[in-house]
């Protein structure tokens, strides 16, 4: 129990360290997760349910992955991309078509021992009958498969993500956050059906990532890539202080969030290592912005 309490105490710090530029979102997510972990949530419901709204590439999935990893381990994330469940036939895939078939939901939940996070991405794309299933999951934490088996979600967190009104978040200027949040929530309510919207315990509107946020994310991503590549190759890797500004300049995209940045950083580090390894060099390396390299 003591180890668990320490893990719960560390949760907020871990998420704040990994998810940057989303300080408005993290506290209510952490409170709900702690209620779930400490057994303060009522029975017959998922341990917590979240609707994450916001533009692309700003940390909605990353936050879900981060809290799942911290609380249960990576392998306890069950992910469904709702753009794959847009027609009526999708219900049969999820629940099974007949009494002889185990539905996909039952199979996936069994793989994680019924415990972890169920992530439904792009929820607005799901077929209305699939959204009916979501309603049952939110309401009763149960789904009955075609073969009669009942899947229990009461040891799970449920996260739905959507880019509904993402463009409005990107385009808004000088607006008070509360006004923007109200607008985005109203759009989501209209797009998702009010009865579904109303059942989420937490609705979080993620902010766009400004230049300074992306600068901080670039540092974080670079250090992570360096750590992972050092472990893989055994090469000690350091970087010049000017490299962060260079990579941010290359990777920053005001509308696509941090995804282009991540790709840019991975490409940069991997190219430097590739060149080294092909020359048979395995001694330490200090990554430099290109201008410094060519001037040297
Ligand atoms: N706020 C953030 N803090 C740290 N890293 C971030 C943040 N936002 C995005 N990233 C980085 O960008 C990548 C893409 O972000 P993520 O998958 O969370 O996007 P998303 O908000 O779920 O977008 P989409 O709506 O397209 O699914 C992450 O894997 C992570 O490396
Ligand atoms: Mg996502």
Smallest-distance ligand from the CA of 55: 1
Beta bridge partners of 81: 121
Task: Give the position, in ligand 1's atom list, of the atom nearest the Cα of 62.
Answer: 18
Q: What is the CATH number of domain 211-295?
A: 1.10.8.60
pLDDT of residue 168: 83
81 in Cβ contact with 121 (< 8 Å): yes
pLDDT of residue 296: 46
Smallest-distance ligand from the CA of 208: 1
Pocket around ligand 1 at a 6 A CB cut-off: 19-22, 56-62, 121, 161, 163, 217, 220-221, 257-259, 262
CATH 1.10.8.60 in the chain is located at 211-295
Residues 6+ apart with CB under 8 A from 127: 85, 86, 87, 88, 90, 91
Residues 6+ apart with CB under 8 A from 207: 21, 22, 24, 25, 54, 58, 169, 177
CA angle in degrees (0–180, nearest 5) for 134-21-14: 75
For residue 55, report the distance from its CA to the centre of ligand 1, in Å.
10
Please name the residue whose Cα sits nearest to atom 28 of ligand 1.
62
Q: How far apart are CA 152 and CA 147, in angstroms?
A: 15
Residue 178 half-sphere exposure, CB side, CA atoms within 13 Å?
A: 0
CATH 3.40.50.300 in the chain is located at 2-205
Write down the architecture of domain 2-205 according to CATH: 3-Layer(aba) Sandwich (3.40)
120 in Cβ contact with 126 (< 8 Å): yes
For residue 58, report the distance from its CA to the centre of ligand 2, in Å.
8
pLDDT of residue 174: 67
pLDDT of residue 176: 83
Smallest-distance ligand from the CA of 258: 1
Kindly give the confidence (pLDDT) of every residue in the chain, 296 residues in length, as a single tens digit, with 9 standing for 90 and above: 677 999 999 999 999 999 999 999 999 999 999 999 999 998 899 999 999 999 999 999 999 999 999 999 999 999 999 999 999 899 999 999 988 899 999 999 999 999 999 999 999 999 999 999 999 999 999 999 999 999 999 999 999 999 998 888 888 776 788 888 999 999 999 999 899 999 999 999 999 999 999 999 999 999 999 999 999 999 999 999 999 999 999 999 989 999 999 999 999 999 999 999 999 988 999 999 987 555 44
């Amino acid at each position: 129990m003591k180890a668990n309490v320490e893990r719960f105490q560390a949760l907020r710090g871990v998420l704040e360290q990994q998810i940057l530029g989303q300080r408005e979102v993290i506290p209510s997510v952490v409170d709900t997760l702690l209620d779930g972990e400490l057994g303060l949530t009522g029975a017959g419901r998922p341990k917590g349910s979240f609707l994450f709204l916001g533009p692309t590439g700003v940390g909605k999935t990353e936050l879900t992955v981060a809290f799942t990893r911290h609380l249960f381990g990576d392998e306890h994330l069950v992910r469904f991309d709702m753009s794959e469940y847009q027609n009526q036939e999708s219900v049969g895939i999820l629940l099974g078509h007949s009494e002889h078939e185990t539905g996909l939901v039952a199979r996936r939940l069994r793989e994680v021992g019924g415990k972890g996070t169920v992530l439904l991405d792009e929820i607005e794309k799901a077929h209305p009958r699939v959204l009916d299933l979501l309603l049952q999951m939110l309401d009763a934490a149960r789904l009955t498969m075609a073969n009669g088996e009942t899947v229990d979600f009461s040891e799970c967190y449920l996260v739905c993500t959507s880019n509904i009104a993402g463009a409005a978040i990107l385009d808004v200027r000088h607006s008070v956050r509360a006004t923007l949040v109200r607008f985005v929530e109203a759009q989501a309510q209209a797009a998702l059906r009010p009865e579904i919207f109303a059942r989420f315990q937490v609705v979080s509107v993620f902010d766009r990532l400004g230049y300074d946020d992306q600068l901080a994310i670039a540092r974080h991503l670079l250090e992570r890539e360096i750590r992972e590549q050092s472990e893989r190759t055994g090469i000690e890797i350091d970087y010049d202080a000017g490299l962060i500004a260079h990579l941010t300049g290359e990777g920053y995209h005001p509308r696509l969030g941090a995804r282009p940045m991540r790709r840019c950083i991975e490409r940069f580090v991997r190219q430097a290592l590739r060149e080294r390894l092909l020359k048979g060099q395995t001694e330490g390396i200090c990554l430099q912005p290109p201008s410094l390299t060519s001037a040297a």
